[in-house]
Amino acid sequence: MIISIDNQTIVRHDDSRRFYEDGRGPEYERLGDGRYREVVERSDGTRVVTIRNRYGEVVQRSRIVRGGEEYVLYYAPELLEDRGDDYTWRDPGEDLPPMRLGVPIDDYIIDTSSEPDRDYYQFLEQPPVERVERPYSLDEVRYSARIRDKVPRIDLDTITFATGSAEIPMNQATSLRKVADAINKVLEKDPSETFLIEGHTDAVGSDDSNLVLSDRRAESVAVVLSDAFGIPPENMTTQGYGERYLKVNTESANQENRRVTIRRITPLVKPVASNQ
């Protein structure tokens, strides 16, 4: 779905479809005040529980394993507040000064093609590059570049999408192994970690079509990370940004702009992590 919020066009999708197993869809329960609970149960007894407010925003997402242990992936209680009919979404990054990067660029951005031997686990474990003022909602992180930029990123430029395509060639999927191993190592330490998979396009084509294409690219990478490397799908959220954040400033077709990026956003969406 293409929508406009705060004078910005975005693509919005239901990423919980990636959680379904063998075609088994979710069960729903109404909770009052327009809220509802979505439960996806897997064959091993694991349940992925998502609570949304009356606007469809994710208030909380948890994984409950057999035996009852619960891992809260993110929780934004402020989304339960009644905003009134005149509410409009506002980018929280507008209240912040321009970011001043206080770490070397190599500790902030990794290109997997040029740094295949980096310790991706150590990189993902890094704290934000500046103070996190408060826990942000998942939508605030998805839709605010200023907030996302608080955490380092890995550019998966070993995945080279063809123009207009979201398909990952089989011979390139294996290039994700080292990053996937690092993510799994992070999750072994804390199963409630959350990662954002961002999709991007070059500037060829319309803005709306590029938003949808970039969203599909992010989804494609998330599916490979789950299916081929065992990363639980609920620990990843995806978002496409179209041609909005070009790596190479050109209106022409450019392979470097057709990319996917990964960030560990736990410090942005978890109250316990906001003190880092």
Domain containing 58: what range? 13-88
19 and 151 part of one domain: no
Residue 40 in any domain: the answer is yes
104's tokens: 């070397």
Q: What's the pLDDT score for residue 271?
A: 64
Is the pTM of the predicted complex or chain greater than 0.85?
A: yes
70 and 131 part of one domain: no
67 and 142 part of one domain: no
pLDDT tens by residue, the chain, 276 residues? 888 776 778 888 888 888 887 767 899 999 988 899 999 999 889 999 999 998 888 999 999 998 899 999 999 888 888 777 777 778 899 999 999 999 999 999 999 988 888 999 999 999 999 999 999 999 999 999 999 999 999 999 888 888 888 999 888 888 899 999 999 999 999 999 999 999 998 888 888 899 999 999 999 999 999 999 999 999 999 999 988 888 878 888 888 888 899 999 999 998 654 333
Residues facing residue 109 across a β-bridge: 153
75 and 160 part of one domain: no
189 and 80 part of one domain: no
E strands in 14-141: 27-32, 35-41, 47-52, 58-64, 70-75, 109-111
Rounded to 10 degrees, the C-alpha dihedral 213/1/223/109 comes to: 60
Integer Cα distance of 276 and 269 in angstroms: 12
Which of 32, 56, 88 marks a domain boundary?
Answer: 88
Counted domains in the chain: 2
What CATH number is attached to the domain comprising 109? 3.30.1330.60
**Radius of gyration in angstroms for the set of CA atoms belonging to the chain, rounded to a whole number:** 18
118 and 188 part of one domain: yes
113 and 70 part of one domain: no
Q: What's the pLDDT score for residue 67?
A: 87
Q: What's the pLDDT score for residue 47?
A: 93
Q: What's the pLDDT score for residue 275?
A: 35
Q: What's the pLDDT score for residue 19?
A: 84
DSSP strand pairing (8-11 vs 2-5): antiparallel
Residue 123 in any domain: the answer is yes
185 and 84 part of one domain: no
Q: What's the pLDDT score for residue 276?
A: 36
Residue 3 in any domain: the answer is no
E strands in 148-257: 153-155, 195-199, 236-240
205 and 151 part of one domain: yes
106 and 151 part of one domain: yes
212's tokens: 């949808």
148 and 160 part of one domain: yes
Q: What's the pLDDT score for residue 6?
A: 67
157 and 189 part of one domain: yes
